[in-house]
Amino acid sequence: MIARSIILKIHTVDENPLDMKAGANDMNEVLVECVPNFSEGRDTEIIDKITNCILSVSGVSLLDVDMGYDFNRTVITIVGDPESVLIAAIESSKIAYSLINMENHTGEHSRMGAVDVVPFIPLSNASLELCTELAERYAKEISSSCGIPIYLYGHAARTKDRKSLPNIRRGEYEGIRKKIVLNQWQPDYGPSIFIPKSGVTATGSRNMLIAFNVNLNTSDKSLANKISGIIRTSGILIKDSNGSKILDENGKPTRSIGIFPSLQAAGWMYDENTAQVSMNLLDYNITGLYEVTESIKMEANKIGLEVISSELVGLVPLKAFINAGKLYETNSESLSDKELVDAAITGLKLDIIGEFFPEDNIIEWSMQKGGKEI
């Protein structure tokens, strides 16, 4: 059995680590986050070269490196001042383009390029507008110096159909060759040419996103897909008794809207024996960790399944854990932040796959910690 392995590293290149919670060196300091996703999760030498490049940039903290073997994907989290984060994103991407060959790439996660997506996210004293500017500068530099086709998404999108990353990624790497030559899908930057080795890259700006996966006691991915369709914002396609899509008056497929707003979800495989509901919580203040977990438990129970564990990909704001902890504890008002976080970890089943270290997975606590390599 090939199970997904996760390598976690936490680094900092500053003598005085950034501290969001306490205000650290300057209450007016502008901080942004960048979470580049690289289509390589198996070769540690390649990822080490990418992370070493980031570590060489002054003014950034490398908080998390999450390698997924089955996904064949690595998600890296960096935080710092805007200019330093931009430099780190550009230089690490150049390393990735030189080392990753998409012609040989396979994995569970959907993907379309060696550097698949590079989102910029506002933190302290930063705005979506600032992060959009960073995304556009990243796109201009990478398309110019590397010849990579770049799409802008999220808040940085220039057209409505490009706001959604899954919409841009639809068809994946294998479908880009035909998609990129269509007028509707010409890149925002770079050539309208399919590059087999590198594919295409999306960059943009968005608010804090939580990547959260819930595992089920089944090897049937279709059941995870069924639950995903029920809970996600986009819902599921409505079909007639013959299994054909029902179209509206404009000829577009009709959909049954899902339970939660601001939620993307799809069925994936954690390993060959475990299906999972893989999610992006686009706004945890609207749709939180507690709500989606308990809804998945309820839907799983209806079809004779159980939630057996969960996992986070990347770092999460403290408030997201506090929100969940308050709902798992009846006397939450009398509890400390640590106690509420512990309640959330247990309720969400984050400590089943392995020991869960909140000081490594919560942004504020990770930055206070100062950084170390594990």
Whether 312 and 214 map to the same domain: the answer is yes
Distance between CA atoms of 230 and 259, rounded to whole angstroms? 6
Q: Domain with 310 in it: what CATH number?
A: 3.30.70.670
Contact between 107 and 71 under an 8 Å Cβ cutoff? The reply is yes
Residue 119's nearest CA partner among 97, 91, 151, 143 is 151
Whether 229 and 185 map to the same domain: the answer is no
In a domain, 241, yes or no: no
Contact between 135 and 206 under an 8 Å Cβ cutoff? The reply is no
Contact between 155 and 206 under an 8 Å Cβ cutoff? The reply is yes
Give one word for 370, left, alpha or beta, with left for phi > 0 and alpha for psi -120 to 50.
Answer: left
Whether 45 and 184 map to the same domain: the answer is yes
Whether 63 and 195 map to the same domain: the answer is yes
Whether 198 and 326 map to the same domain: the answer is no
Task: Tokens for 139, please give them.
Answer: 């796109």
Q: What is the pTM of this model?
A: 0.70
Compute CA distances 205 → 60, 348, 355, whole Å: 18, 28, 32
Contact between 16 and 68 under an 8 Å Cβ cutoff? The reply is no
Measured CA angle at 59 (ends 113, 48), to 5 deg = 45
Q: Tell me, what's the pLDDT at 371?
A: 46
Whether 192 and 281 map to the same domain: the answer is no
Distance, CA of 74 to chain centre: 10
Contact between 261 and 230 under an 8 Å Cβ cutoff? The reply is no
In a domain, 25, yes or no: no
Distance between CA atoms of 91 and 115, rounded to whole angstroms? 12
In a domain, 38, yes or no: yes
Give one word for 280, left, alpha or beta, with left for phi > 0 and alpha for psi -120 to 50.
Answer: beta
From first to last of its 374 residues, the chain has per-residue pLDDT tens of 223 333 333 333 333 333 333 344 456 789 899 999 999 999 999 999 999 999 999 999 898 898 988 889 999 999 999 999 999 999 999 999 999 999 999 988 899 999 999 999 998 789 999 999 999 999 999 999 999 999 999 999 999 999 999 899 999 999 999 999 999 999 999 999 999 999 999 999 998 889 999 999 999 999 999 999 999 999 988 877 777 777 777 778 777 889 999 999 999 999 999 999 999 999 898 999 999 999 999 999 999 999 999 999 878 889 999 999 999 998 899 999 999 999 999 999 999 999 999 998 898 888 776 543 33
Distance between CA atoms of 167 and 361, rounded to whole angstroms? 29
Distance between CA atoms of 131 and 134, rounded to whole angstroms? 5
HSE (side-chain half, CA atoms, 13 Å) at 306 = 4
Identify the sign of the CA torsion 239, 241, 242, 243: positive
Catalogue the active-site residues.
109
In a domain, 79, yes or no: yes
Residue 166's nearest CA partner among 286, 279, 8, 287 is 279
In a domain, 247, yes or no: no
Whether 181 and 45 map to the same domain: the answer is yes
Instruction: State which amino acid sits at residue 9.
Output: K
Instruction: State which amino acid sits at residue 206.
Output: R
Whether 79 and 104 map to the same domain: the answer is yes
Domain of residue 297 covers: 210-233+260-369
In a domain, 245, yes or no: no
Q: Domain with 84 in it: what CATH number?
A: 3.30.990.10
Q: Are strands 201-205 and 210-216 parallel, antiparallel or unpaired?
A: unpaired
Compute CA distances 278 → 91, 263, 296, 368, 371, whole Å: 30, 10, 11, 29, 28
Kindly report each contact of residues 52-55 with a partner whose C-beta sits within 8 Å and lies 24 or more positions away, as own/partner.
Answer: 53/88, 53/91, 53/92, 53/95, 54/78, 54/88, 54/91, 54/92, 55/11, 55/13
Task: Tokens for 232, please give them.
Answer: 């996600």
Tally the domains of the chain. 2
In a domain, 5, yes or no: no
Assign 364 to helix, strand or coil.
helix
Contact between 310 and 349 under an 8 Å Cβ cutoff? The reply is yes
Whether 197 and 275 map to the same domain: the answer is no
Whether 123 and 269 map to the same domain: the answer is no
End-to-end CA gap in the chain:
26
Instruction: State which amino acid sits at residue 200.
Output: V
Whether 49 and 187 map to the same domain: the answer is yes
Of the residues 186, 205, 224, which one is the last residue of a structural domain?
205
Compute CA distances 131 → 6, 46, 155, whole Å: 29, 27, 9
Instruction: Report which DSSP code applies to 239.
Output: B
- What's the pLDDT tens digit per position in 81-131? 999 999 999 999 999 999 999 999 998 889 999 999 999 999 878 999 999
Whether 173 and 216 map to the same domain: the answer is no
